[in-house]
Amino acid sequence: MENTTEPKIKWYHYIAALFAGFFLANVVPHFIHGISGDPFPTPFATPPGKGLSSPTCNVLWACFNLLVGYILLKVSKASWKNKLLLVFVFIGIVICAVMLSIAFQDKMKA
């Protein structure tokens, strides 16, 4: 008989899932602007998060966010078998998306 014991989910799996969603959502604006050749704010700009970084910097920042998001997704053990962890990933995506929409709404006015 096959042992199909589910791994025990601990509190830090939920935190990892939340931050996985956050990092994965942050990939989108930086990657899109970077591959489109458009400057866009990154933490490396002057001033950080307000000034514009090069498209190459944005692509690299997007790739870093993708890597961290992927690692956190694996650490979280989120899967179709544990839908609550997927909800935490989704909540992280929503939180990041709303925060970015507020932070970047004035980026072209400077």
Which pLDDT tens digit goes with each residue over 9-65? 899 999 999 999 999 999 999 999 999 999 999 999 998 888 899 999 999 999 999
- The answer to whether the predicted template modeling score (pTM) of the entire model surpasses 0.95 is no
Q: Nearest Cα to 29, choosing from 108, 104, 110? A: 104
On whether the CB atoms of residues 20 and 78 are closer than 8 A, the answer is yes
Q: Domain residues of the chain, as ranges?
A: 15-103
Sign of the CA dihedral running 61, 66, 67, 71:
positive
